[in-house]
Structure 1
Amino acid sequence: MKKTIVCFDSSVLHKSRLDNVSKELLWNAAQIHMVKQGDHVLQAGQTCQHIWLVEKGACRAFYDHHHREVNTAFFFENSFVTNMKSLRNNEPSAYHLATTERSVLLRWHKDTLAALYEQSPAITAFGRERLELLAIAGEAHADWLKTHSPEERYQYLLTHQPELIQRVSLTQLSSYIGISRETLSRIRRRVL
């Protein structure tokens, strides 16, 4: 698939505060991938070598626990996706990254990004900010699970993240909230 200006116009790269030269450098270095629903972009045990941007579609992060998938994050359009620990420390990933919908992903190899960081302090600052946001989101989710009841979690998603309710299966959503699918069904009946 050819990268087009139409795709770029709606991209987080275009809307960023990067100067035009840095935007062009980052855009031109991206590889574009059409990914089928359910395909893994990173498997547990592999060492992460890339950062992805969801241009269209959705991805999830999950791990296997006693033959059950536990979802820890969902990423929709204009979200960056990676396993920071694996990418940074060059160690195997403890979890999977997979698409939940047919998706268009932009991808940068970590060596390509390192070269871009050398060329542009603006890209370095942009990358750091995006990785910090990923870390903050992961930390916020862990805190959220500890401090809210399952019904409060579901209510929060209804109000603040309806996209999750609309685009994620009940099984995946229940594990993300930290409850069984049956418990989620009971909560949904009470709330709706």
Structure 2
Amino acid sequence: MKEEFQKYYDSYLETFSDSSPEAITFFSSYLSIKEYAKKELYFKSGEVQKEMGYVCKGLLRRYYIDEKGNRITTGFINENKYATDYPAFLRQKPSKYFIECLEPSIIINIPHDKLQESFKKFKTSEMYGRLMAEQVLIIQTDRVESFLFENAEERYLNFINQNPDIINRISLSHLSSYLGIKRQSLSRIRSKMAKK
């Protein structure tokens, strides 16, 4: 294993420090780690995601293609987050989304069947499964509520405040798609805020 890979691998396993040594040994024996190129798809619409990804390094975006052929961004996934369409992953159903690397990325992959097996075998694994589900639910709920209760400027401000580490790594077109704002409108909001 590459030295850099080992560093990420060890760091990921440290997040399971509350687990029993048996659980960590079981879990770690099924993990794989892979490099992905910029613009490479982690998975695509119509595929069943057999492995969930933990992003060690890089930035990805989740999107779908609407009936007009537009790519609509629904999320960004950076370091220490999971690259997954979690509801489809849990049910092992084909995903409606694409996940694309916006930067060269290093991702640890966790097989679905081994993840489920570890939930059954080890109490602490079950707790991690719940935490993963909670993280995904919070992100999805926040996005839906932002469209229900916030205007375009508030959505942009909240995104900046909640994602200071990735705001400069995302193109304006991807960000405007995610926020549901036309690119020109987003440019106007940004220049207005720059004058404040």
The two structures have a TM-score, normalised by structure 1, of: 0.90
Look up the match of 2:149. Answer: 147
Please point out which of 112, 119, 135 is paired with 1:133: 135
1:27 shift after superposition:
3.0
Which blocks of at least 5 consecutive residues in structure 2 are unaligned?
none
The two structures have a TM-score, normalised by structure 2, of: 0.88
Within 1, Cα distance between the matches of 2:84 and 2:39? Answer: 17
Over the matched positions of the two proteins, sequence identity in percent amounts to 26
Within 2, Cα distance between the matches of 1:78 and 1:26? Answer: 17
Q: Secondary structure at the match of 1:163?
A: coil
- The aligned length equals 190
The correspondence of residues 80-95 of structure 1 with structure 2, limited to 5 A, is: 80-95=82-97
C-alpha contact 1:14 1:23 (8 A) present in aligned 2? no
Look up the match of 1:188. Answer: 190
The correspondence of residues 137-176 of structure 1 with structure 2, limited to 5 A, is: 137-176=139-178
Q: Secondary structure at the match of 1:92?
A: coil
Say if 1:18 and 1:24 are closer, same or farther in 2 by CA, change over 3 A: farther
C-alpha contact 1:70 1:176 (8 A) present in aligned 2? yes
Within 1, Cα distance between the matches of 2:37 and 2:163? Answer: 24
Q: Secondary structure at the match of 2:185?
A: helix
Within 1, Cα distance between the matches of 2:142 and 2:91? Answer: 23
The correspondence of residues 12-51 of structure 1 with structure 2, limited to 5 A, is: 13-16=13-16, 18-19=18-19, 21=21, 22-51=23-52
Say if 1:46 and 1:188 are closer, same or farther in 2 by CA, change over 3 A: same
Within 2, Cα distance between the matches of 1:77 and 1:24? Answer: 24
Which blocks of at least 5 consecutive residues in structure 1 are unaligned?
none
Within 1, Cα distance between the matches of 2:117 and 2:159? Answer: 39
Give the stretch that moved more between structures: 31-40 or 120-129.
120-129
1:8 shift after superposition:
3.9
1:142-192, Cα deviation, whole Å (9 max, x unpaired): 111221111111112222322232111111000111111111111111011
Say if 1:80 and 1:155 are closer, same or farther in 2 by CA, change over 3 A: same
Within 2, Cα distance between the matches of 1:159 and 1:111? Answer: 37
